[in-house]
Each structure stands twice: as structure tokens, then as C-alpha cells.
Amino acid sequence: MSDVRVRFAPSPTGYLHIGGLRTALFNYLYARHTDGTMILRIEDTDRTRFVEGALENLLKALDWSGVEIDEGVMLDENDQVTEKGEYGPYIQSDRVKAGIYNKYIEKLIEEDKAYYCFCSQERIDKVRDRQKADGLTPKYDGLCRSIPLEEAKERIANGEEYTVRLKLPKNREISFEDRIKGKITFNTDDMDDQVLIKRDGFPTYHFAVVVDDHLMKITHVVRGDEWISSTPKHVYLYEAFGWDAPEYIHLPTVLNEDHKKYSKRNGDGMVEDFIAEGYTPEGLINFLALLGWSPDSEEEIFTMEELAKQFDFDRVNKTGAVFDKRKLDWVNGHYVRDLSVEQLAKEIKPFMVESGMIDENYSDENLNLLAETWQSAIDKFSDAPKLSKNYFLDENEIEWDEEASEVLKEENTKKLVDAYLEKLGEADEIDEEFAKTIMKTIQKETGIKGKNLWFPIRAAITGSVHGPDLSNVMLLMGKEKIEKRLNYVKENF
């Protein structure tokens, strides 16, 4: 195994977002490409935003997607949260309880690289409001930077509330090399003296992430490019501790179709929504891999193993990638077509039941026939009820499309419907023999052929002149439903 160690380190502040899954995926693919290690760490130091059940949802979503965790937080065989690895705990709140961060913050304070700040939130807000009004970048004004350490310790002993801030050097350029974006430079005068320890004693993300990445021997930090402006603070912290910084890789933003951030806050793109819509894990993962990364070929359909073999950050785009749901449907459709009819039937059944089209006792034979009939048109499992609904609705609920409505008014339609009804009356049921021969029989009796034959019959039975194999449709609907449907057409068109 190589020494490459990557981590996905989400906060349990809600359900897993599609942008988060892509970040996890790119970490995972690079770990597999380099024979490295994929670590999952949970960054839950912001207790105000903690959401109950979010951790379990995250782990189940990763498990569903096929993004495997080698080390850190994971689910055991009983779906219980557990941890594996020698650098734990892997949940930050547990690391706080274990006192892991204490000696590191004390070191920075003793070396005058961090300081105690006693300013109230009210004062900080006023300072920032004034700076905004003056057209300045809002940031902490450094009031507490010069308080002598002994005086600060006395104030703490007297019960004053405090935070600990990073003491950035004045007017200093901090540069780092990003694998995707190239060299990035910030001046410390444009940066804030970041809070490292909050009033509640919990470390902030910026402090804990550096300590944890160092202690867990992370070699590559792969995250969204919204973290670029924070990276100089992290780079400086590495320097302050005398540690080697990891390599930074900031991924392009996932954009919606309006080219704005595909945001969790707007309720866009939660992974559980894609699962609920009936996307396959393989389809979603294949699509996400191509969201900002391009393979060294024209291919677009890949297994996870094929993705890992080809994946490298050198082919990741610098600019944002648009989440195109039509492309997702196209990619996912490939995986639907590859399923056996029986497997597809099993997958669409819950969606058919939920829609009220069928109940749990619907026959496997008919469900398999339904899956076979629509397999070439289903892109995600939730498509099945929409595509097949006219087979299950009562005749007064069916929706005839515009083209079908026009065809049903044509003079030959009544003649064809009557011919079909006559043959239907002679049959005990619609079996395979009837379904396969009825149209030829009507053609011989009426002399009508081609689309002049097929369009009216199909329109009368299904509500559309286009669709899948009509003999399958007849078998699915059965004699009684078709009889009622055709009589309704005679009376209403």
C-alpha cells in the first residue's frame, strides 16, 4: 500500500449533499488509483448545527454509493456506527473530550502565535458593521492582540469568557500550490485573526482540521474550492507548528443549470432524494465522476474499478461543473438497460406500489412483463409508474395525448374499434396467442394496414399513438379493462 492518505471529513449538519458525495468520490478514486487509504472523519465541533440522524444517513448514503471507507467512522455488519484505525477517535467531539487539542493550542499561545480574545460578539459585530460602512473588508480589529499573557490568564481565572485567535503576522504573503488551480497567494493583511477555540471550548474547523490532518498523516487534502480562502490560515498553522503541509486539491464547484452553486441551503441535490427517485448507485457515481473530471478517452460509461484506474487530478477542470439532470438520466439509463428483467421488476415494484398502480400482491409474471415492456425507456425506477399509468387507470381517468385524440376522431377508428371488440367478445381472455395475432386478423377483415391500423387501436387502448410492444400492453391490461376502454372511446370520441 502506498503512503497516500486522503480523507472525507463532512459535518453532520444535514443529509449528504451531492457535492459532498462527489468530494468523497474523488478522494476515494484517488485512494484506489494510488493504492492509498480512504479515511472518513466526522467534523462535528459546531454543535449548534448538529442534526440528529445525519451521521447515520451519511454512512448509509456512502455505503449505498459504493464509496468504501478503509479507516475511520463506518457502519458495522449490523448497521451500527463504529470506528476502525489507529489514529482515532475519528469524531471530533470525541477528540475534544479526549483533550487532543489542548497541548497544541497551549503551544501556540506560549509561542505568541495565538492569543486570548475577550471581545463580546456584540462588539465584534459593531466593528464589522463599521468596517463595511467604510468600504473595508470586515474582520477582527486586533484589540486583544497586545494583552500580556499573564494578564489574560488572570482574566480567565476571574471567570471572563474568551476565545483563542490565531496571531497572523502583518503584511506577509502566504502562498501554496494547488494541484488544480496552480499557485495561490494571499496577504495576511487581507485575512482575519481566525478564532481557533470558541467560547464553548470547542475548536473551530480551521484549528481542528490542521491538527487532525497532521495527526492522521493526511497527505492530500481534497475538498471543494469554497475552502480556498481558508487554506492560507491552514498553511500558516502548519508553519507555526513546524509541520509539513499536505498537498491541496480544491475541486471545482458543482453548479445548477443557472450556473449558481448547487446548494444544500437551497434544498438542491440531497443524495437521499436521488435514491428516492430510483437512480442506481452505479449511474449516479458514473455521472458524478464526470462532473468536473474528464477521462483520457471518449468513453462515458465506467465501472467504479475503471474510474479508479483512470482517475487523476491532472484531468480535473479548473472551472465549475454544471449538474445536468438530463445527462444523469442518460447515464443512469445505461445501467437500467443492463439489468435483468427480473431485477428491474424488483426495483420498480416499490415505485409502482407507492403510486397506487398495483398492490403488493401483483403477480411477478405481470411485473416482469411490465419491466420488459418499458426497460428501453426507463432511465430511473420512478419512471415506471409515469410511463405505464394509462394501463392501470380507469377509462374515465386516462389521459389521451393530443395526437391520440385527433386519431380517435378519424372515420376508420370506429370500424377498427368495433372489429377489435368483436374478436375480444369471442375470446375467453387475452392470452399470448390473441395478443400476437389480433392486429393481423383485423387487418385482413378491414383491409386497413400500416399506421392507419396501428395508430387508432394503440390510441384507443393506451391514450397514445406511440409506445412499446402493443401485444405486451394487451396482456398487461387484460380483457375486461380493454373492453371498457374501447367502449368508452366509442361513446366519447
- pLDDT tens digit sequence for 444-487: 999 999 999 999 999 999 999 999 999 999 999 999 999 999 99
Helix (H) or strand (E) holding 97: helix 92-97
- d(CA 280, CA 299) in angstroms, rounded, equals 19
Q: Does 187 score more than 80 pLDDT? A: yes
DSSP state of 55: H
Catalytic residues: 264
- d(CA 45, CA 11) in angstroms, rounded, equals 8
Q: Is the dihedral of CA 462, 466, 468, 471 positive or negative?
A: positive
pLDDT tier at 137 (50, 70, 90 boundaries)?
Answer: confident
Residue 324: exposure state from Cβ atoms within 10 A (0-12, 13-18, ≥19): middle
- Backbone φ, ψ for residue 310 (5° rounding): -90, -20
Mean pLDDT computed over 176-192: 96
pLDDT tier at 239 (50, 70, 90 boundaries)?
Answer: very high
CA distances from 129 to 135, 144, 175, 188, 230 (A): 10, 19, 29, 21, 22
Domains of the chain: 5-93+254-315 (3.40.50.620), 99-251 (3.40.50.620), 339-391 (1.10.8.70), 402-492 (1.10.10.350)
pLDDT of residue 269: 86
387-406: per-residue pLDDT in tens? 999 999 998 899 899 999 99
- The answer to whether 26 touches 250, Cβ cutoff 8 Å, is no
Mean pLDDT of the chain, nearest integer = 94
pLDDT of residue 263: 73
pLDDT of residue 352: 98
3-state secondary structure of 491: helix
- d(CA 118, CA 144) in angstroms, rounded, equals 7
257-316: per-residue pLDDT in tens? 888 888 766 656 899 999 999 999 999 999 999 999 999 888 999 999 999 999 999 999
Q: Is the dihedral of CA 457, 461, 464, 469 positive or negative?
A: negative
pTM: 0.93
Mean pLDDT computed over 412-421: 95
pLDDT of residue 53: 84
Long-range contacts, stretch 289-294, CB < 8 angstroms, 24+ apart: 289/25, 289/26, 289/29, 290/331, 291/22, 291/254, 291/321, 291/323, 292/22, 292/251, 292/252, 292/254, 292/316, 292/317, 292/320, 292/321, 293/26, 293/317
3-state secondary structure of 166: strand
- d(CA 192, CA 184) in angstroms, rounded, equals 17
Number of residues written out for the chain: 493
Q: Measuring CA to CA, which residue among 366, 394, 414, 412 is closest to residue 463?
A: 394
Q: Is 264 assigned a ligand-binding role in the annotation?
A: yes
pLDDT tier at 1 (50, 70, 90 boundaries)?
Answer: low
pLDDT of residue 266: 60
pLDDT of residue 262: 82
pLDDT of residue 173: 97
Mean pLDDT computed over 61-89: 95
pLDDT of residue 493: 87
Percent of the chain beyond pLDDT 70? Answer: 99
The three cell numbers locating residue 129: 458593521
Mean pLDDT computed over 424-435: 95
Percent of the chain beyond pLDDT 90? Answer: 90
Helix (H) or strand (E) holding 116: strand 114-117
CA 259 to chain centroid, in Å, comes to: 17
Q: Measuring CA to CA, which residue among 290, 230, 225, 293 is closest to residue 261?
A: 225
H helices of 117-219, in order, are 121-133, 149-157, 205-215
- Backbone φ, ψ for residue 458 (5° rounding): -65, -40
pLDDT of residue 43: 92
